[in-house]
Amino acid sequence: MPDLADDSLSHDVLREGDPRLLVRCEPLLALDDRAGREARALMSALTVFRARHGFGRGIAAPQLGFDLRMLALDLGAGPFPLYNPEISWRSEETFELWDDCFSLPDKLVRVCRHRSISVRFRDEKFRARHWERLPPELAELLQHEIDHLDGVLMTARAAGPDAIRPAGERARLIDAARVSHRLSHARIAEAASHIDPLFLDTPQFVSEPLYDLLGCRITLKVETMNPIRSFKGRGAEYALSRLVEAGARGPLVCASAGNFGQALAYSCRRREIPLTVYAARDANPLKVERMRALGAEVRLEGDDFDAAKRAAKRHAATSGALMIEDGLLAEIAEGAGTIARELLARGDAYDAVVVPLGDGSLLNGMARWLKAASPATRVIGVCAEGAPAMAEAFALGPGAALGGPGSVRTIADGIAVGQAIAESVADMHGQVDEVRLVSDRHLLEAMRLLLRYAGVVVEPSGVAGLAAVVAEPGRYAGLEVATVLSGGNVTPAQSAQWFGTAVEQQA
């Protein structure tokens, strides 16, 4: 651990005893040149500290001698400022933890904090935002930084006897208690360099007709305009590139309703790796045809996706092939997380991002980036009513035992999950705000709206996010919303049934 008391590493952070740390900061009335300069200085100081020490999530204006009400945070996706942050709600429940501070580099202090808070603030463009019901690890961080803006150091919050300890005990008292996550911001950031560019920088646009119909300004992120017509290529490409770097050369096996199998087949063909895909006997024939055309051996077994997955696992156990399980392998979700990174690249501020939820790779990858780069954005997963396993598992809360496979009855084959993946559910907690259920009726309505008003053919699972808005427009009225159109594989027979006309899609 570096010596935090070393002045050469402090980046001019004021230390305990400087009277400027005890002054309450004044609110900003507008974002002027001075505020911009000081915000950049805060972000630079935080970046330097993180680079030198490997940790550090926040810094407040008084720590650099500034008196405007602002702070900078870096939750893993790069630094950003908060102007005029104020706590708008506090939970009644409190907890104690050991805290550290750049301005008290030789001390750790045990403090009492509210377990959750909500915060109103202005973002980097001085837009009003509301960050609601933070999880404990972020609630304590914001309470610490807002204390700085009020001229309060953590020593004033010392709780109980022996509440101040030397910084040398940081590993035992702080690091060991810090929440970890298996999805990495750094790997999401690097994933784009491993993914075939065909899957990157997909179209995103605001649909004005849908705004008029639904009452919210909705951005569509279209993931269907690529060789496999779904977002799955991002995760498959990144996961396979990492496996190849680690020396894996196959053979591989997976289970798929069709889209992930296409994605893995595409990536395996590029790398000359043999692949076997297990799918249900009633799998979408267009998807099955495309998997085979891309070079995969496809075996149809079982009455549903979960039965096909069990068959794939048996094959892996007996053949020695490496099982690639979508929703379980972290790199698949991290590849999907590049969608969120692109979504925010233009500087838009979303109140909510509504995402289809099947095995969890798309939702978890996007949520991991969104909650680090735009934490006030609510992240909402959407399951089909006829496949509620992931929603039910999430509702049980962290650490709860998951139930066995449930029945599945929905037209949305791509999110027709009957058995929740424990690791994927665990990834959701602290990142995903809520999960909604939508009916097949609303899935069909959303598909028809997209074809009519955006000219985009989307399969039922790919439109689940929009269907949630269609089902409950009042929940999103007046908000800035984004959703991912995650897949577009529709057979002519399905097209005739769902749209009243055959939209031909060649394999």
pLDDT tens digit string along 268-310?
Answer: 999 999 999 999 999 999 999 999 999 999 999 999 999 999 9
Q: Are the beta carbons of 424 and 327 closer than 8 angstroms?
A: yes
**Region for residue 351 given its phi and psi (left: phi exceeds 0; alpha: psi -120 to 50; beta: otherwise):** alpha
**Closest alpha carbon to 309 in 335, 280, 283:** 280
Q: With helix as H, strand as E and coil as C, how does 47-67 read?
A: HHHHHHHCCCCEEEHHHHCCC
Q: How confident is the model at residue 312 (pLDDT cuts 50, 70, 90)?
A: very high
Compute the distance between CA of residue 327 and CA of residue 222 in angstroms, rounded to an integer.
21
- Across the chain, mean pLDDT equals 94
* Strand 480-485 versus strand 352-356 pairing type: parallel
Q: Are the beta carbons of 335 and 364 closer than 8 angstroms?
A: no
φ/ψ of 340, rounded to 5, equals -65, -40
pLDDT value at position 505? 52
Q: How confident is the model at residue 11 (pLDDT cuts 50, 70, 90)?
A: low
Beta bridge partners of 74: 79
pLDDT value at position 77? 96
**Closest alpha carbon to 422 in 393, 444, 445, 397:** 393
Q: Tell whether the model's pLDDT for residue 503 goes beyond 70.
A: no
Q: How confident is the model at residue 1 (pLDDT cuts 50, 70, 90)?
A: very low
Task: Sort 92 into a burial class: Cβ within 10 Å, 0-12 / 13-18 / 19+.
Answer: exposed
Q: Report the chain's terminal Cα–Cα distance, integer Å.
A: 56
| Amino acid (one-letter) located at 30 | A
Mean pLDDT of 241-253: 93
pLDDT value at position 158? 96
Catalytic positions are 145
Q: How confident is the model at residue 5 (pLDDT cuts 50, 70, 90)?
A: very low
pLDDT value at position 506? 46
pLDDT value at position 6? 40
pLDDT value at position 272? 95
Compute the distance between CA of residue 43 and CA of residue 343 in angstroms, rounded to an integer.
22
pLDDT tens digit string along 135-176?
Answer: 999 999 999 999 999 999 999 999 989 999 999 999 999 988
**Closest alpha carbon to 278 in 250, 306, 251:** 306
pLDDT tens digit string along 334-378?
Answer: 999 999 999 999 999 999 999 999 999 999 999 999 999 999 999
Compute the distance between CA of residue 317 and CA of residue 326 in angstroms, rounded to an integer.
17
pLDDT value at position 405? 83
Mean pLDDT of 79-90: 98
Which carries the bigger pLDDT value, residue 505 or residue 39?
39
Q: Tell whether the model's pLDDT for residue 24 goes beyond 80.
A: yes
pLDDT tens digit string along 215-239?
Answer: 999 999 999 999 999 999 999 999 9
pLDDT value at position 52? 87
Q: Rounded to the nearest 10 degrees, how much is the dihedral formed by the CA atoms of 39, 40, 45, 48?
A: 150
Compute the distance between CA of residue 230 and CA of residue 392 in angstroms, rounded to an integer.
26
For residue 201, the Cα-to-chain-centroid distance in whole angstroms is 17
Q: Tell whether the model's pLDDT for residue 130 goes beyond 60.
A: yes
Q: Are the beta carbons of 253 and 315 closer than 8 angstroms?
A: yes
pLDDT tens digit string along 65-77?
Answer: 999 999 999 999 9
pLDDT tens digit string along 430-439?
Answer: 999 999 999 9
* Strand 352-356 versus strand 322-323 pairing type: unpaired
Residue carrying structure tokens 């909650």: 371
Compute the distance between CA of residue 379 and CA of residue 500 in angstroms, rounded to an integer.
34
**Region for residue 139 given its phi and psi (left: phi exceeds 0; alpha: psi -120 to 50; beta: otherwise):** alpha
Domains and CATH numbers, the chain: 7-177 (3.90.45.10), 185-227+334-499 (3.40.50.1100), 232-330 (3.40.50.1100)
pLDDT value at position 355? 98
| 14 CB-near residues (< 8 Å, 6+ apart) | 20, 21, 62, 63, 64, 65, 103
Q: How confident is the model at residue 502 (pLDDT cuts 50, 70, 90)?
A: low
DSSP 413: G
Q: How confident is the model at residue 504 (pLDDT cuts 50, 70, 90)?
A: low
**Closest alpha carbon to 58 in 148, 151, 155, 181:** 148
pLDDT value at position 7? 37
Compute the distance between CA of residue 364 and CA of residue 421 in angstroms, rounded to an integer.
12
**Closest alpha carbon to 234 in 347, 390, 369:** 369
